[in-house]
Structure 1
Amino acid sequence: MKKIFISYSSVDEKYKDQMISHLSGLKHRGVIETWHNRDIIAGDVKSDEIDQNINQASVILLMVSPDFIGSSYCYGHEMKYAIQLHEEGRARVIPVMLRPCDIEGAPFDSLKSVPEKKWISQYGDKDSAFLEVVEQIKESIKETVPKKELVAKKDCAHKSSFFEWLNDTEVVLKSRATEVIKLDDIYIYPDLRGLDSDDESFLEVSSARLPESEGYTLVLGEEQSGKSALAKSLYKDAFSSGKKPIFIDAENLNESDIICLCDKEIKRQYNNIDCLSEIVPAERFLIIDNFASVSLNKRHQNILLDSIEREFSTCVILASDSFQYVIPDIEGMARFSVKEICNYSAPVG
């Protein structure tokens, strides 16, 4: 089922309702579901909820009117984010021309808009106008590519050198079946266990769940236990699910300002993003490897961890198992759930 996100000004509520009515056929057939800001549940954080649903959408409708253009949130936030997703090939943006206004030079000016001949408000038979929009949505749904398939085909978002590093197994492997063996070809997510318990009930289903939930996790492991391979796999899966992960090797971490650190890494990792402020909070996912090698003193480590909490709702830090002995001395680690990588073992019997 495809999600249709509707971005509109509250002044155009009646047009939004008419649009939803005309989408009822597709909804009843289980082809689509719709979402707009009136669907926010009381108590939810508005901007995060909106960003999450834009990110999940296959088609984004921009309900264009003078009030839409005049809205700093519709035009400056929702529309900007929608265009970014469209340019990355992760969603289709359709400008729906509601009421006459000046759109010359708008970011969506070059996109195919509907209706093509005149604004919906100028139609005597508005049902015919909305039917044109429905037909365009049907075409767009056929063209959308699943996000994981898109990433598998070609990654245009990342620097080529960084993308090659993500796929590097970092060991020499040979096979008659293929010239190059990538990390995805051989990697299996390990299980994680609470640090202070040997109880089997503490086993997680898989470390692959880490990108799916918010929170702060410290993953400890022995030397050669696969911590860096786990970091790479988490990065790729987070990106495939629509997040914008940022990887930092703590061996190169020499300051406590997470924004400056991320801005440097973003320029090294991404082609189409320049700084952390361009990534909406709901999409941010921070991964720090080799944290036991960080050169910062404990005071600056705490400053770093505090700044991470301000900027990220999801962070995974990986470190050698010896790091567990200094955790009590670092106050900022108190918010982290501590896990250890379970060693692979053969079944008994």
Structure 2
Amino acid sequence: MPDILFAASSESWEEYEAPLRRAFDAVGLDARIAPEMAPEEVEYVIYAPNSALQDFTPYTRLKAVLNLWAGVEDVVGNTTLKAPLARMVDPDGLTQGMVEWVTGHVLRHHLGMDAHIVNPERRWDATPPPLATERPVTILGLGTLGQACGAALGALGFPVTGWSRSAKQVDGIRCLHGADGLAEALSGAQIVVLLLPDTPQTENLMDAERLALPAPGAVLINPGRGPLIDDDALIAALDAGQIGHATLDVFRTEPLPEDHAFWAHPKVTVTPHIASTTRPETAALVIAENIHRAETGAPLLHLVDRAAGY
């Protein structure tokens, strides 16, 4: 019977307790799981990086930490954590939510919906939008989320280019990598979707130089991480018309401060970090399966590469 600590908020425990118990029953694993436990007893930690647990040193029996979030930037650098760290990859929750959000906002901008939804002058402009096949989309980040969003957009007919730091091959996506590949991926794109992790290498990736590469008037959509964008450079690109609109779901500071320029900018849509979220019912199944694997000698899934930061 593995001893499992749930290290997150009390509100989260209320949401997760029943789904986790059902999930462990489903995989046939008899586990003791609780929000409080003596450190020397704990074998696994189900973890939210904003929890009170920040020093893993007393957890001498720890076999693995299973992150509740897709992002691990707030825990990957914790030098007291020596055990394996697994990130949350949930196809039926996180991934599906991201696909729906990204597809919805890409279609919104592709079809020009805003002009019809808010039209106080009652203009009758019967100019049809281009077909998806004429609207090149670039996705920066070809992890689980990027690949899934690329597949969904490709199925609708969009020509999708994907970029990643290392070489990848994904069916239906033109894949580029490295510094030269990044410039090529951005050049001429009409819609750019950011789905990269937050690492020292990706911070301010979308600076003034790279914001100048997409087609004039391109749309920037960021459900990835706030630090991917140089905020001042983006505002300048919006004011100059180089970027036609930015739809942003993540920010350097959250909630986004009330006096931030993004709130009032007419070419910015702010959404409150809702593009995708961990859902207890499906996330519990992922966690239970991973712990079951570890207990039966199988390798853990979704392990974080500490050197890469994700």
Common fold: TM-score over 0.5: no
**Max radius of gyration: which structure?**
1
Q: Which has the higher helix share?
A: 1
User: Larger RCO: Structure 1 or Structure 2 (Cα < 8 Å, ≥ 6 residues apart)?
Assistant: 2
